[in-house]
A and B are shown apart, each in its own frame.
Chain A
Amino acid sequence: MTTYKFLNVIEKCINCGGCFAICKDTNKVPHGTARVKIVTINEGVPGERNIPVSCMHCTNPPCEAACPVKAIEQRADGVVLVDKDKCIGCGYCGWACPFGAPQYPHDLHGAAAEYEGIMDKCTLCVTPFVPGATLKSPQPKCAQFCSTKCRLGGDINEILPQYREAKARNIIAWQERV
């Protein structure tokens, strides 16, 4: 069975913003809203690390549990989606999500204006910001385009070996040095 996940090898994220920009481009996410963003810790001092943050498509999504109108649903393949027509924009999912992934965009224009205040987040590229009539199959563009291959996304059976390999280091341990 296919289960979609993200695994981030954070030792390799360089905060290049490639994921952010390709997500914007692919999914037409409006200015001011992000489905994936880099959070930098310890900026400018040893220990500085960049962490790509987005919806993690949790196995037990707390947002789904928190939603009072049952707008959020996890599919059989693990992808957590919001039905924008059901969403009331209350913000509970934002409280529930450990990553702050749900966004409630404002100041929207054009076709997006209809979704003012309605929750948006990573859909694994299944639907763009303004949902279309059809759903695409999950193709995490951010992971495909990641500069350093630190962001792995897709079927857990495919990405887990890649993650393990990326983490497995030569005995001349960088672990000690990091």
Chain B
Amino acid sequence: MATRTKSMDKSSGIRLSRRTFTKLTALGTAAALSGISSVGTSAAEILVPAASAAPAPGVKLVKSICSHCAVGCGFHGVIEDGVCTGLEPWTDHPVCQGGMCSKGTSIAEMINSETRLKSPMKKVGGKWVKISWTEALDEIANKVKQVQSTYGPDSIFWMGSAKMTNEECYLFRKFAAFNGTNNVDHQARICHSTTVFGMANTWSFGAMTNSWNDMRHSGLIFFCGENAANSHPVSMQHILEAKRRGAKFIVADPRFTKSAALADQYIRFRSGTDIALIMGMANWIIQNDWHNKDFIAERGYGFDAFKEEAAKYTPEVVEDITWVPAETLKELAYDWAHPPAAELGEDSVACICWAMGATQHTVGTHNIRSFACLSALMGYVGKPGGGCNAFRGHDNVQGATDMCILSHSLPAYYGLSDGAWKHWVGVWNRHAPVTFDEMKAKFAEHNGKSLINVKGLTDSRWYEGVLNTDEFPVNQPNPVKMAFVWGHSLNSITEMKKMKQAMEKVELLVGVDPHATIAASLADRPDGIIVLPASTVFEKDGSVSNSARQVQWRNTLVEPMYDSRTDYWIMKELATRLGFGAHFTYNSPEDITREFNLGMRVIMMKQSPERLKKQQQYCADFGVEDCQAKSGPCAGEYYGLPWPCWNDEHPGTPLLYRNDVPISEGGNDFRTKFKDAAQSTPGNPVSDDGVSMLATGGYDELNSDGTPGGGWKTELDEDFKDIIAQNLCPSGSGRMRFRAWNLPDFVPTHREPIESPRPDLIDKYPTYDDVADHYRIPCKYKTIQQERKNLVNEGFPLILTTGRQVEHMGGGAETRSCHYLVELQPEMYAEINPKTAGSIGVKHWDYVWVETLRGRCKVRAYVTERVNDQTVFMPYHWAGWFEGESYADRWPEGTCELALGDSVNIICVDGYDRTSNMQETKACQCKVYKF
């Protein structure tokens, strides 16, 4: 077990172990110890005693937010002389009420982990050598300059992270811009990019509409591709409370999950057939005339097209596609349209919740669109207990998405148009002088066009940008020659064999992470890798956005441990060496917050650091039912000031699109975002088929002077208080879209996965045509689906699907380095049905191979009825083995994780969402056999 040791104290060289501490404090010498401490904790730290226990003398309790999922649970770090020695609950935290899952409660152990990377390391002649920060940064910066001058700025791929603070995420996107490239991306691409495209193209914003606490008011909670008991454990507090109050809880999933075990009803359906299931429900509702005609008429667009497509999904057709019996489907549709009265009586509404079970598909964007349309069909949006609750993954993936560490947009979803760049350059120019022309000059030209406006490579297929094969040539001046893996696990990306080759081919690979991770160990190469120890999120100040758009301030618990540095510091040092340091030098994290407060106008992230800290201090005033402060200095505000937060007086918007409360009190409406450019005029947005996109009694988006126009997005110094005082929503009052005329399918349409067990259905519901340029790389759909049409009869009879374990997070480098979590979940496995196990002669916990066209994994067999006899399930947090071979000896000494396993993403399918380039991980064909 790790001893909690303070990193070498930089000034005095004193090391104190946690055990020494316990002993000394027990002897009553804590006061003397404070004299030894020379490293103070951050000045910005706010000290608040836990409600439960008064800390012992010399012990500080510091509030922080968990780093493991987007529920955003709070806790108190117990800090003794600069060392985090344990946790105390934050019992009046509005979201978690003190609760935390095993990942959260292991945080002290993870901060103090002995396997953290302790200094910059470089691989030389097959060996890892320790280098200084100066050497490392100089070498990296020189290589960046050389690659940029030889091959152009697009030959570096910047892979960023949802585990940075909002401030750092924002700077990371800005950093890529100053490096003259859009080849920047992060985990949102591979977790919820399809949610953002799907929701934003239906509702107008791409985020969770309601909140964790709001689910307490639901009459029916429908999970489709979500297993909160594993992936968002503390959210179950609110879901189970709703259930206690009489709500019905239904889980539809290919697997009988831990969440399904607690549900009122479980519906098993085939991986990759969500659209058929949902459209089948919609059809049955429409056939029975249960839908909300008022809502559709007043606030919807394109219902007829939707109805026409839905009509194809009769209960019998759905049964054939999805495995769900026609009668079950009818009941499900009935339940959706008639949620139990629960606590809201006649106004009872239902919400739909999902995570990667729905997003990680070739049709992911349309899965999410189908959910949004199902909700709109009943008018369940903009109401307490209703809405579309996308459960985001990482602790700050909502924030990182909002900051758009994404190759297709600048922060706040402005996109990459000249107008978008001018907006942001205008913001950046306030910090240090820069013009649009200077920015544009940094970018390369390709095919006669500046790449400043061209979407970059995505993290889901960045390796193709390196490999540049004849089959998948990269559409940019030169292939990628250098890659940064900055707070991003690589084993959460599919096609790992190709990625491994790419990691071997780049001229320099730079890993930045608290742990060495497989960025250090995966590539077979004697040199050309540098890994830098980043601080954890508990070693710095900053804000973090949970899935419910609630922004929370996180205080420094301890100073950076070992020789680690914050992501901000590393960016600033590199920027300085690259000649644009002034743009990345700030006096405090708060200064960065204020800078993005100014520019993040599309989603109005105007939560000032002062307001966030005040909310943290007075958190006890916020109610658990609606997260609103009923009294105290924050009275009227919603916890986390959920965006859009229009100005310094606005309470935040807890429920998106709720138009029955004033905008000034958190009301909202559908934006008038969808308009056909050729036919629309200010004040009169129309669809491609000429229909007005204004809601009944609605109005177009506004300039600050009240005239129609997009001024609310660009007028930096306006606070729109006058307009809001008239109860007008500056972003307009428009219509949601059943029919999205800019997407490959205007209305959600079932398409079989690339690898499907039903050759007959491939003929009927084929996937998309191949695409020549999908984020700079060709993408194959029909060709490979046709080639693999008979896979089910050619030795790959089972469907492979993947997912989460509660004990591990993402790629697992942190959690697999934690003793407690490894004790709970020590090895990689594949869940197989007892029938499958019997047919291949395998007993529980025997080793098996799971093989697909891509390769195979050696894992334990977990024999269970969670999966049926046509499905195999594997968790995706594992790495360190590659097709059965352990790579344990390839890590820098002492940095290998405590538990290793084969990575399922070696074998997942090479399919990608047609809109967002999300990788498909939930449906492909495999076989399982004895090791």
Contact = CB atoms under 8 A, between A and B. Distances in A.
B26 A133 contact: yes
B91 interface: yes
A118 interface: no
Interface in A34-60: 43-46, 48-50
Interface string A138-149: 010100111111
A22 interface: yes
B75 to A, nearest CB: 8
Contacts of A30: 1
A28 interface: yes
Interface string B99-112: 11111111011000
Contacts of B341: 172
Interface string B246-262: 10100000001011011
Interface in B185-199: none
A148 B265 CA distance: 20
Given A17-B101, A132-B22, A170-B342, A147 B237 contact: yes
Given A30-B1, A139-B53, A170-B244, A22 B823 contact: no
Given A14-B233, A18-B102, A49 B342 contact: no
Contact of B89 (A16, A21, A145, A170): A145
A177 B264 CA distance: 6
Given A14-B233, A144-B52, 11 more contacts: A16-B233, A18-B100, A18-B104, A22-B87, A24-B820, A43-B866, A44-B256, A109-B1, A144-B89, A145-B100, A178-B264
A14 B251 CA distance: 15
A170 B343 contact: yes
Interface in A124-178: 132-134, 139, 141, 144-149, 166, 168-172, 174, 177-178
A4 interface: no
B399 interface: no
Contacts of A46: 256, 261, 266
A106 interface: no
Interface string A46-85: 1011100000000000000000000000000000000000
19 contacts: A12-B236, A17-B820, A20-B102, A21-B105, A21-B109, A22-B87, A22-B100, A24-B819, A24-B820, A25-B106, A26-B86, A28-B1, A46-B261, A110-B1, A145-B105, A148-B233, A148-B236, A169-B245, A171-B246
Contacts of A109: 1
A111 interface: yes
A147 B234 contact: yes
A168 B1 CA distance: 42
Interface residues of B, number: 57
Contacts of B820: 17, 20-21, 24-25
Interface in B812-838: 819-821, 823-824
A170 B246 contact: yes
A174 B343 contact: no
Contacts of A31: 1, 819, 823
B701 interface: no
Given A16-B229, A177-B264, A139 B52 contact: yes
Kindly state the interface size class of chain A when it binds its partner: 35 or more
A11 interface: yes
B67 to A, nearest CB: 15
Which applies to chain A's interface (DSSP): helix, strand, loop or mixed? loop
B814 to A, nearest CB: 13
B865 A25 contact: no
Interface of A: 11-12, 14-18, 20-22, 24-26, 28, 30-32, 43-46, 48-50, 109-111, 132-134, 139, 141, 144-149, 166, 168-172, 174, 177-178
A18 B98 CA distance: 11
Contacts, number: 146
Closest 5 CB pairs of A and B: A170-B246, A17-B102, A48-B261, A172-B246, A22-B105
Contacts of B127: none
B648 to A, nearest CB: 35
A52 to B, nearest CB: 13
Given A14-B262, A44-B864, A21 B237 contact: no
Nearest to A178: B264
Contacts of B91: 144
A43 to B, nearest CB: 6
B240 interface: yes
A11 B262 contact: yes
B340 interface: yes
Contacts of A178: 264
Contacts of B340: 172
A14 B229 contact: yes
A119 to B, nearest CB: 20
A43 B864 contact: yes
Contacts of B823: 24, 31-32
Interface string B331-346: 0000000001111000
Contact of B244 (A14, A28, A169): A169
Contact of B243 (A14, A24, A111, A174): A174
Contacts of A15: 229, 258, 806
Of the listed residues A14, A25, A132, A149, the one surrounded by the most CB atoms of chain B closer than 10 A to its CB is A14
B237 to A, nearest CB: 5
Interface in B1-33: 1, 3, 19, 22, 26-27
B97 interface: yes
Contacts of A166: 244
B669 interface: no
B807 interface: yes
